[in-house]
Amino acid sequence: MTFGRSIALGFALLLAAGCSGGSPGSSAPPFPPRKQPQSSGLFPQDSPAARVILAKVAPSARAPQGWSGDGDNDTDDGDWGTLTLPKLVACGDGTFATDCSLWRWGSPNPTRGGGSNGIAPALNFCRDAGQYPSADLGPAAIPPFPGANYAFTLTYLGTKATPIVAFATRWWNLSFDSGFSGGGKTGNAIVSPLLTDGASRGWLVYFTWSWPADVLVAPYAINEIQLAASSSPLAVPPGGSAPLGAFDCLGRPITAHRFAGGTTFGFGTNPGTPTVTSTGPEMNAPVYGGANPNGSISLSDDKGARTVTTVVPATPAPSATPTTAPSTPPAGR
């Protein structure tokens, strides 16, 4: 499973269907006020599962510059590679677990942007979310959320020993309190970004106390480039064009790079043009298709924000079938 590629797609998996629905329990403690990064020293060293899963966790961050031609857009896995995890399966919404049925998302306060009805929360933080140009680009592929508290609940339905341990990779960029305490199986979480002039991504990791553990992993992103829903994926007609729409949360120009064999698509009227840069934080550029548009587009800015979208050939609309008049009038009644 190529986790670097999947998370570099700018949370595209969060558009997928999640685990089956369900209502969380009501025994969680109230939302705690918090605006501090989670320290690596906060996870319990006496948890056998923590000693295995977090044994290699250490500070690391992406380079602050944008795309440089070295493939860095595809290799930033949000520090997934520092985790030691058992075999996981995809649960939808970009999440993974040892068993999806053991975890239930919910929100006692949906107006705060938390997950509800069993759908994982879209932890897609964007400093300038209120400036997203929906009039030009249409809705975003993942609704951006401002740099504020994002509340949701999570319930563990399994039978393995609690407490539930929670950890955020790249914790220095994120205020995270899982809300789990003691032996409780429901936590009221609060997540909030601390990064205001850069971009990052990472994972929230939940697991039971002992090893082997039941594990749930969910992605988060801070100030990554926001794709328009119509550009995720981008369907380009062979021999035609389609607009690539994106928005930069940090107010920076966006540069788009084509990754494709030959000249299947590009950014000029000649499909061979490999790159284009916006004049401001909104990218709204035509992508021209060759005979078979296929590949991907990497978008980045000079602050390190990035995402990737897939280019596919557009399916021609079916032509209308003309109605043929009957050769003889239908019999009257």
Question: Rounded to two decimals, what is the model's pTM?
Answer: 0.81
Q: Using pLDDT thresholds of 50, 70 and 90, give the confidence band for residue 115.
A: low
Domain boundaries, the chain: 3-222, 230-313
Q: Using pLDDT thresholds of 50, 70 and 90, give the confidence band for residue 30.
A: very low
Q: Could you read off the pLDDT of 206-218 as tens digits, one per residue? A: 999 999 999 999 9
Please give the pLDDT value at position 268.
Answer: 81
Query: 36 or 333: which carries more pLDDT confidence?
Result: 36
Instruction: Report the relative pairing of strands 275-277 and 255-259 from DSSP bridges.
Output: antiparallel
Question: Per CATH, which fold does 230-313 belong to?
Answer: Immunoglobulin-like (2.60.40)
| Residue 126 clears pLDDT 70, i.e. is over it | yes
Please give the pLDDT value at position 331.
Answer: 43
- Which two tokens mark 79? 């520090």
- What's the rounded Cα separation, in Å, for the pair 252 and 263? 28
Phi and psi angles of residue 50, each rounded to the nearest 5 degrees, phi first: -65, -40
What percent of the chain has pLDDT above 90? 62
- What's the rounded Cα separation, in Å, for the pair 3 and 7? 6
Q: Could you read off the pLDDT of 222-278 as tens digits, one per residue? A: 999 999 999 999 999 999 999 999 999 999 999 999 987 666 899 987 777 899 999
- Residue 64 identity: P
Nearest to 185 by CA among 217, 156, 150: 156
Give all strands (DSSP E) within the chain, no chain letters: 89-92, 95-97, 103-106, 123-125, 150-156, 164-168, 174-177, 186-193, 200-208, 215-222, 226-227, 234-236, 241-247, 255-259, 265-266, 275-277, 282-289, 295-300, 306-313
